[in-house]
Structure 1
Amino acid sequence: MAAVLSRHAIADGVVAQKNLSLGLAKAIAEATLAACKEKGYSTAAAVVDRAGQVMVILRDEQASAQTADMARRKAYTARMFRTTSLEFQKRTLDPKYAAQRDVADILALGGGVPIMIGNEAIGGVGSSGSTQEQDDACAKAGVAKVADQLK
């Protein structure tokens, strides 16, 4: 019986996860930045992994300094709440959810998009430096650029 428990314990102790590669994170960030640049905006893009840790931050040479941190926080928000930061902003207008805005590093502004494989959030991308709606569209374009690799 001990052998059965031991094998069971080992199986329960190992968790397999899908994670972003650095190359994929860079491709998403570059596509996000390019989508905004194409519209005439100088922005920053950030990609975080499934734990919310930064993998890539890119800032256009014409973007202001705070855009990099705002992009990071939008990416983090999208990853942690598994929804766009624009949807998070709308949801937290409800007083029942408003306190979620007080969590460290959360930013309830449009421009953050979760990076999903099926129903599993494996990261987030954030864009900052244009309008909230345009930042949202740029982040979505970044994810769309690699959609075939997220299956």
Structure 2
Amino acid sequence: MYHTLRAVALIAVLAILSGRAGAQGVVMQRTISLNMAKIIAEATLAECKSKGYNTAVAVVDRAGQVLVMMRDENGSAQQVEMARRKAYTARMFRTSTLEFQKRTMDPKYAPQRDIADILALGGGVPIQIGNEVIGAVGSSGSTQEQDDACAKAGVAKVADLLKTNGPN
């Protein structure tokens, strides 16, 4: 009887400990949805088009992977690639690419520009819920400042959704 009770107690302890270990192995992260990415991309493209620019836009998720890529009918393949890299840069460094460009002018940060797919040109903007970056948008085809403004306009289009999904 004593051995049976001891075995049951040991099994119960192991079950509790394995449950905790399993829970520690799961990470819940928020990321941008495809629907939200489409809204941001369309709003970014529309903003630049309204200013007379033929641009491309890319929206990436929290891992820096492309969800949406669009270009104006007169946009180029180079603009598409630059938009993707701007979005990737904004996501990976959690800041706008204009800010990244300024920061990496300092020689101690300049090597960050040499990382694959990084582009230190304005037009990339992180998409955030509070301080958590859930994706980024990149715009390419106008001036760096205008690309930045277009990308910010795209994110502004979903600002209310980002607030309702934010921290309580």
TM-score, reference length from structure 1: 0.98
In the alignment, the residues of structure 2 paired with residue 63 and residue 130 of structure 1 have an alpha-carbon distance, to the nearest angstrom, of 10
Q: Does 2:98 align with 1:86?
A: yes
SS at 2:28's partner residue?
coil
In the alignment, the residues of structure 1 paired with residue 101 and residue 82 of structure 2 have an alpha-carbon distance, to the nearest angstrom, of 14
In the alignment, the residues of structure 2 paired with residue 76 and residue 65 of structure 1 have an alpha-carbon distance, to the nearest angstrom, of 17
What stretches of structure 1 of length at least 5 have no aligned partner? none
Number of residues of Structure 1 aligned to a counterpart in Structure 2: 151
Q: Does 2:59 align with 1:42?
A: no
SS at 2:152's partner residue?
helix
Residue 145 of structure 1 is matched in structure 2 by 157
Moved more, 14-23 or 120-129: 14-23
SS at 1:45's partner residue?
strand
Among residues 33, 36, 46, which one is paired with 1:24 in the alignment?
36
Q: For CA contacts below 8 A with separation 6 or more, give which structure has more relative contact order.
A: 1
In the alignment, the residues of structure 2 paired with residue 136 and residue 66 of structure 1 have an alpha-carbon distance, to the nearest angstrom, of 17
What stretches of structure 2 of length at least 5 have no aligned partner? 1-12, 164-168
Residue 105 of structure 1 is matched in structure 2 by 117
TM-score, reference length from structure 2: 0.88
SS at 1:88's partner residue?
helix
Higher Cα Rg: structure 1 or 2? 2
Report the RMSD for the aligned CA atoms in angstroms: 0.7
One-letter amino acid of the counterpart of residue 69, structure 1: E
One-letter amino acid of the counterpart of residue 25, structure 1: A
